[in-house]
C-alpha cells in the first residue's frame, strides 16, 4: 500500500482523537446493564460505572439484589460485604448468577471466630473487591468505615469503573451516593389473618440523585410471585405519591 | 530465535465443534454461549448475522429462531476424544489444542504414509470414519499442513471450507505467499492477537496480511510494540512461537507414584491439582509459564494414556487440572481398564516467559472471570480463608437450607456447575417463592405473644393456642428489644425432619408474620421456643 494513504489515515485518526469522539461501543462499556423494570427509572437506563447507588427503605435489600442482577446476568461478578445473611435463593430468583457471587463475611468477634475488621482491614478488603468485581453490594456492616477511607475507596471505584450498591438507612454509611433508590409503601399480597402465604410485594420505588432533576417513581412487584421483579402497569399513568398524615 | 527452523505442522480442524456437539443439524441456526457471549455458532446462524463475542440478546435479535446452548467444555472434550483416539492410532504425539483442533508434527507421518498430501487425505478419512457411526457423521473436516502453527491452522480452516486437504509448500516464501492474500482478521481469530490491534490495521487501510507483512519490521515494532511485532512475524510466515518460548530446564517434571492403585478419577484429579500447583509454582519462581504440557497416566498393568496439551497463553494450575480431568475421563470411558492407576505425571514440554499478556484465550473465559478469581485470592489473603464465601447448592426445606456458603478456597470458581447443581427433590413442605432476602443462621431470638401476653404455642394438631399479636425482637424482657404489632400472619406450617433418626429428628412449625411497619418475618417454633429464621427485606 502507498505510504501517503497511510499517513493520511493517521492524520485523520489523530484529528478524531482530538475532538474527543467516543465510539458507541466505548460509551456502552461505561455503563452496566440493568433489568427491564429499571431501564425507565435510571438515568441513561443503566448503571453508570464508578457510581455509588444507595438502596433504602423496607425493600432495600431486595432492591439492591435486583439492581445487581442485571450486570450479573450479563457476566459481571457480584461481591457482597457487610451483609452476612444474604439469601442466595432470593438472589437467584431475582436473577443473580450464583456462580459469580462472592460474600465476604466479617467475623462476629465472639469466641474463636476472630476479631472484627478494623478500618484498615476494611479498606484492604473493599479495595480488593473493587479491583476484582464489577458490582459491590455493601450492607450495614460497612457503615463503620471511616469517611476518609471511604473517599479513597470511592476514588478507586471510579478509576476501576465498578459500581457500589449501598444498603441501609439513608445517610447512615460513609459512602456518598450519586443516586438513591427509596423503596417504600410496601404492601404484601396473599397474607391473611391466619391463612394464605405471602405471594408478592407491591412496592413504590423513588429515584433521586444528581442526574435526576425530578424524582421518578415506579410501582414494582419486588419480589413478585415467582421471586422476580416486574413493573406493575398503572392504569392511570404515574403513581400519585401518598401524603404523610398526622 | 530466527535461526531456528519453523516446525512443519499438520492440523486437523473440526469446524464449529461446540455447535456440532450441541447437535446442530444442517441449516439450523445454533449459537453456543458462555457468560452471555456467543463463543461458537453454526453456518446458518452466521448467515443470519450472528458473530463470535456478541451478547446473547443481540444474537437473538439478529435471528429470533436461533437455538441457544450453554457452553460445556467437558462434553466437547469427551466427544472429541473419539477423533483423537482414531487419529492417535496413525499419528504419534498428538496435541489437543482445544476440543475440535488437533496439532501434530508432520514430518514423521508424512514420510510413513508417502507424502504430505497422502497423509492429509488419510487423516480426513480416519477422522470421518470415527465420527460416521455417531450422530456427528457428515461433519466437514479440514486438514492443513504448513510451516508453523499459524499457517497450519489457517490452512486447515480454509481446507474445511474447500472440502479437500490443503498442503502449503515448505519454506518461508511459500508460506508468506499463501498468507498474503488473506484477511488480517485471521490474526485475531487464530493467533489471538487483540482484536483492537487488528481493527486498527484495517482502519489504516491494511486489509490483507500481505500489506501488513510489507511494512518494515522496525516501524511496526515502534508503532505497535511487541504484540504488533509478533503479528507482523506471523503475517510474514515467520516463526510463530510466542516470544521467549524455550525448552524447559531438565527435571521440571512432577509425578506421583501411588502406593495403592487408585480407582477413582476424582482422587486422581485431586492429586493432579497438587502436582499442577507444584509445577506452576516451580515455573513461576523462574518467571515462566508452561505453554505445552505432557500428561501421562499409567495403570498397574502397564496401560498408558499420554496426551500433549497446548495453550498459547500458558496453562494455569486450574487449566492443567481441567485437562487432566478431560484426559482421565475419556481414557476411563473408552478403554476397559483392568487395573487402578499407579502413576500420574505432568511434564512441561515448552515454557515461555510469563509477561502477563493474555494471548489467545481458547474457549470462553471472560476477562471479568480472570479478575474475579485473582480478587478472591487476594481477599482470602486479607480477610482470612473462612471469611470469603461462595454459594453452594444443598437442597432442603428451610430458607437457609437450599443454599449454603462454602469457603471460596475449597471451590473451583470457574467450574461451578457441580457446586450449584441443586440435589433432586422433591422437598415437600418447602415454602413457595418468593424466598426471603435475609437469612439468619443461626436463627435470631424472637418472642411472639397473644393478646393476653402469653407466648403463642403450636398445638399437637397443628393449630395455634391464640392468634399472635405482638412480636419482640431480641430476648423477651431484656432492654433494647424492639416491639412491633402483628398486622397479619399465616401458619403454622409443620415440618418434620429426619423422623427416622431419633437423635437428629426435628419438629418445626413455621409462620409468616407481617408487622404494621411492613416487615415480613419468617419465624420458626421448635419445642415451644420462637426464633427469627429469615426476613423478607
For A32-61, what is each residue's pLDDT tens digit?
889 989 988 888 888 999 999 999 988 899
**B283, three cell numbers:** 515455573
* Partners of residue B361 on adjacent β-strands: none
Spatial strand order of the sheet with B37-41 comes to B37-41, B30-34, B67-70
pLDDT at A191 > cutoff 70? yes
- Other CB atoms within a 10 A radius of the CB of residue B387 amount to 21
B11 three-state secondary structure: strand
pLDDT at B489 > cutoff 90? yes
Residue A214 falls within a domain, yes or no? yes
Residues B204 and B315 in one domain: no
Is there a contact between A87 and B435 if contact means CB atoms under 8 Å apart? yes
Q: Whole-angstrom Cα distance, residue B428 to residue B493?
A: 11
Is there a contact between A223 and B434 if contact means CB atoms under 8 Å apart? yes
Residues B442 and B529 in one domain: yes
pLDDT band at A77 (very low <50, low <70, confident <90, very high): very high
Whether B45 and B60 have beta carbons less than 8 Å apart is answered as no
Mean pLDDT of B480-503: 81
Q: Note the Cα A36 to chain centre separation in Å.
A: 14
Q: Note the Cα B289 to chain centre separation in Å.
A: 20
Mean pLDDT of B373-379: 88
Q: What is the DSSP string of B436-480?
A: PSEEEEEEEEEEEE-TTSPBP-B-TTS-BSS---EEEESSTTSTT
pLDDT at B320 > cutoff 80? yes
pLDDT at A133 > cutoff 90? yes
Whether A161 and A52 have beta carbons less than 8 Å apart is answered as no
If phi > 0 it is left, if psi is from -120 to 50 it is alpha, else beta; for residue B345 that is beta
- Domain end: B401, B430, B459, which one? B430
What are phi and psi for residue A221, nearest 5 degrees? -80, 110
More confident residue, B192 or B300: B300
Residues B262 and B200 in one domain: no
Q: In whole angstroms, how far apart are CA A193 and each of A187, B221, B433?
A: 15, 77, 20
pLDDT at B469 > cutoff 90? yes
Residue B371 falls within a domain, yes or no? no
- Burial class of residue A208 in the structure, from the number of CB atoms within 10 Å of its CB (0-12 exposed, 13-18 middle, 19+ buried): middle
Closest CB from A75, A104, A121 relative to B37: A75
Residues B31 and B160 in one domain: yes
The pLDDT score that the predictor gives to residue B1 is 38
Whether B174 and B160 have beta carbons less than 8 Å apart is answered as no
Determine the longest span between alpha carbons in chain B, in angstroms.
99
Is there a contact between B512 and A10 if contact means CB atoms under 8 Å apart? no
More confident residue, B2 or B267: B267
Query: Residue written as cell 530465535?
Result: B1
Q: What's the pLDDT tens digit per position in B8-53?
A: 889 999 888 888 888 777 778 888 888 788 888 888 888 888 888 8
> CB-based contact (8 Å) between B416 and chain A?
yes
Closest CB from A75, A92, A198 relative to B520: A198
Residue A187 falls within a domain, yes or no? yes
> CB-based contact (8 Å) between A201 and chain B?
yes
Residues B279 and B408 in one domain: no
- Structure ipTM: 0.82
Mutation target to probe the A interface, by most A beta carbons within 10 A, among B379, B431, B510, B534 is B379
From B435, which residue of chain A is nearest by alpha-carbon distance?
A90
The pLDDT score that the predictor gives to residue A19 is 45
> What is the helix, strand, coil percentage profile of chain A, to 5?
35, 30, 35
Is there a contact between A58 and B519 if contact means CB atoms under 8 Å apart? yes
Q: Are strands A163-167 and A52-57 parallel, antiparallel or unpaired?
A: parallel
A117 three-state secondary structure: coil
Mutation target to probe the A interface, by most A beta carbons within 10 A, among B433, B489, B492 is B433
> CB-based contact (8 Å) between A183 and chain B?
no
**B314, three cell numbers:** 500458558
Q: Whole-angstrom Cα distance, residue B289 to residue B287?
A: 7
B397 three-state secondary structure: coil
Structural domains in chain B (count): 4
Q: Residues near B151 by Cβ (< 8 Å), separated by ≥ 6?
A: B144, B168, B175, B178, B179, B237, B240
- Domain end: B402, B430, B458, which one? B430
pLDDT band at A239 (very low <50, low <70, confident <90, very high): low
> CB-based contact (8 Å) between A49 and chain B?
no
Residues B32 and B174 in one domain: yes
Question: CA of B418, closest CA in chain A: separation in Å?
Answer: 10
Q: Whole-angstrom Cα distance, residue B270 to residue B267?
A: 5
pLDDT at B357 > cutoff 70? no
Residues B228 and B324 in one domain: no
| Structural domain that includes position A62 | 32-231
> CB-based contact (8 Å) between B441 and chain A?
yes
Whether A145 and A119 have beta carbons less than 8 Å apart is answered as yes
pLDDT at A211 > cutoff 90? no
> CB-based contact (8 Å) between B452 and chain A?
no
Closest CB from B214, B379, B416 relative to A125: B379
More confident residue, B464 or B240: B464
Contacts of B518 in chain A (CB under 8 A): 58, 186-188
Whether B248 and B351 have beta carbons less than 8 Å apart is answered as yes
pLDDT at A130 > cutoff 60? yes
Q: Chain-wide mean pLDDT for chain B?
A: 82
Residues B517 and B386 in one domain: no
Q: Whole-angstrom Cα distance, residue B34 to residue B56?
A: 9
pLDDT at A237 > cutoff 60? no
B298 three-state secondary structure: strand
Is there a contact between B403 and A88 if contact means CB atoms under 8 Å apart? yes
| Structural domain that includes position B221 | 8-235
Whether B440 and A126 have beta carbons less than 8 Å apart is answered as no
Structural domains in chain A (count): 1
Is there a contact between B434 and A85 if contact means CB atoms under 8 Å apart? no
CATH of the domain at A202: 3.40.50.300
> CB-based contact (8 Å) between A111 and chain B?
no
Amino acid at each position: 500500500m502507498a505510504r501517503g494513504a497511510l499517513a493520511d489515515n493517521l492524520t485523520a485518526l489523530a484529528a478524531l482523537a482530538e475532538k474527543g469522539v467516543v465510539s458507541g461501543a466505548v460509551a456502552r462499556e461505561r455503563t452496566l446493564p440493568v433489568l427491564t423494570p429499571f431501564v425507565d427509572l435510571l438515568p441513561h437506563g443503566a448503571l453508570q460505572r464508578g457510581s455509588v447507588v444507595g438502596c433504602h427503605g423496607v425493600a432495600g435489600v431486595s432492591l439492591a439484589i435486583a439492581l445487581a442482577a442485571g450486570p450479573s446476568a450479563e457476566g459481571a461478578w457480584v461481591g457482597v460485604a457487610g451483609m452476612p445473611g444474604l439469601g442466595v435463593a432470593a438472589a437467584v430468583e431475582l436473577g443473580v448468577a450464583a456462580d459469580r457471587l462472592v460474600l465476604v463475611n466479617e467475623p462476629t468477634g465472639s469466641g474463636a471466630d476472630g476479631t472484627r475488621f478494623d478500618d484498615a482491614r476494611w479498606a484492604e478488603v473493599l479495595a480488593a473487591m473493587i479491583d476484582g468485581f464489577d458490582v459491590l453490594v455493601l450492607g450495614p456492616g460497612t457503615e463503620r468505615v471511616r469517611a476518609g477511607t471511604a473517599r479513597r475507596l470511592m476514588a478507586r471505584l471510579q478509576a476501576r469503573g465498578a459500581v457500589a450498591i449501598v444498603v441501609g438507612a439513608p445517610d447512615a454509611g460513609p459512602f456518598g451516593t450519586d443516586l438513591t433508590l427509596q423503596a417504600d409503601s410496601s404492601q404484601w399480597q396473599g397474607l391473611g389473618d391466619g391463612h394464605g402465604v405471602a405471594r408478592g410485594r407491591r412496592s413504590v420505588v423513588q429515584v433521586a440523585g444528581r442526574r435526576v432533576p425530578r424524582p421518578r417513581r415506579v410501582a414494582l412487584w419486588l419480589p413478585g410471585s415467582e421471586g422476580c421483579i416486574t413493573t406493575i402497569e398503572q392504569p392511570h399513568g404515574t403513581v400519585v405519591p401518598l401524603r404523610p398524615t398526622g | 530465535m530466527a535461526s531456528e527452523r519453523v516446525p512443519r505442522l499438520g492440523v486437523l480442524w473440526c469446524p464449529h465443534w461446540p455447535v456440532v456437539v450441541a447437535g446442530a443439524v444442517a441449516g439450523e441456526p445454533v449459537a453456543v454461549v458462555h457468560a452471555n457471549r456467543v463463543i461458537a455458532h453454526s453456518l446458518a446462524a452466521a448467515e443470519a448475522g450472528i458473530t463470535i463475542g456478541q451478547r446473547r440478546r443481540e444474537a437473538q435479535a439478529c435471528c429470533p429462531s436461533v437455538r441457544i446452548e450453554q457452553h460445556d467444555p467437558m462434553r466437547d472434550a469427551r466427544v472429541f476424544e473419539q477423533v483423537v483416539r482414531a487419529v492417535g492410532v496413525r499419528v504419534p504425539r498428538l496435541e489437543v489444542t482445544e476440543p475440535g483442533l488437533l496439532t501434530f508434527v508432520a514430518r514423521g507421518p508424512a514420510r510413513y504414509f508417502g507424502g504430505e498430501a497422502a497423509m492429509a487425505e488419510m487423516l480426513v478419512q480416519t477422522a470421518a470414519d470415527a465420527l460416521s457411526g455417531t450422530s456427528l457423521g457428515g461433519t466437514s473436516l479440514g486438514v492443513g499442513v504448513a510451516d508453523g502453527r499459524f499457517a497450519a491452522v489457517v490452512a486447515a480452516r480454509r481446507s474445511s471450507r474447500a472440502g479437500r486437504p490443503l498442503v502449503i509448500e515448505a519454506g518461508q516464501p511459500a508460506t508468506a505467499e499463501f498468507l498474503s492474500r488473506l484477511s488480517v482478521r485471521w490474526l485475531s481469530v487464530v493467533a489471538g492477537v487483540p482484536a483492537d490491534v487488528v481493527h486498527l490495521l484495517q482502519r489504516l487501510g491494511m486489509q490483507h496480511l500481505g500489506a501488513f507483512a510489507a511494512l518494515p519490521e522496525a516501524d511496526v515494532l515502534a508503532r505497535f510494540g511487541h504484540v504488533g511485532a509478533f503479528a507482523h512475524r506471523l503475517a510474514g510466515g515467520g516463526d510463530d512461537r510466542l516470544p521467549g518460548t524455550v525448552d524447559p530446564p531438565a527435571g521440571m517434571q512432577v509425578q506421583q507414584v501411588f502406593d495403592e492403585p487408585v480407582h477413582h478419577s476424582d482422587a486422581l484429579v485431586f492429586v493432579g491439582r497438587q502436582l499442577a500447583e507444584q509445577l506452576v509454582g516451580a515455573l513461576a519462581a523462574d518467571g515462566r509459564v508452561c505453554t505445552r504440557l505432557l500428561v501421562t497416566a499409567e495403570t498397574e498393568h502397564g496401560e498408558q494414556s499420554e496426551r500433549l496439551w497446548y495453550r498459547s497463553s500458558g496453562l494455569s494450575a486450574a487449566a492443567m487440572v481441567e485437562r487432566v480431568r478431560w484426559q482421565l475421563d475419556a481414557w476411563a470411558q473408552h478403554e476397559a481398564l483392568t487395573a487402578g492407576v499407579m502413576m500420574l505425571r505432568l511434564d512441561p514440554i515448552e515454557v515461555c516467559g510469563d509477561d502477563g499478556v493474555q494471548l489467545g484465550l481458547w474457549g470462553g473465559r471472560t476477562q471479568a472471570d480472570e479478575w474475579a478469581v485473582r480478587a478472591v485470592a487476594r481477599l482470602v489473603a486479607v480477610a482470612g480463608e473462612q471469611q470469603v464465601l461462595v454459594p453452594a447448592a444443598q437442597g432442603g426445606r428451610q430458607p437457609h437450607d437450599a443454599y449454603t456458603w462454602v469457603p471460596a478456597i475449597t471451590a473451583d470458581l470457574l467450574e461451578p456447575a457441580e457446586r450449584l447443581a441443586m440435589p433432586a427433590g422433591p422437598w415437600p413442605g418447602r415454602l413457595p417463592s418468593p424466598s426471603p432476602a435475609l437469612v439468619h443462621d443461626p436463627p435470631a431470638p424472637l418472642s411472639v405473644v397473644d393478646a393476653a401476653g402469653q407466648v403463642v404455642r403450636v398445638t399437637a394438631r397443628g393449630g395455634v393456642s391464640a392468634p399472635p399479636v405482638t412480636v419482640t425482637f431480641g430476648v423477651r424482657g431484656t432492654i433494647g428489644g424492639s416491639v412491633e404489632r402483628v398486622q397479619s400472619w399465616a401458619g403454622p406450617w409443620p415440618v418434620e425432619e429426619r423422623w427416622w433418626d431419633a437423635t437428629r429428628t426435628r419438629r418445626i412449625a413455621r409462620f409468616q408474620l407481617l408487622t404494621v411497619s411492613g416487615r415480613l418475618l419468617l419465624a420458626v417454633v421448635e419445642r415451644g421456643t420462637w426464633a427469627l429464621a429469615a426476613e423478607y427485606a
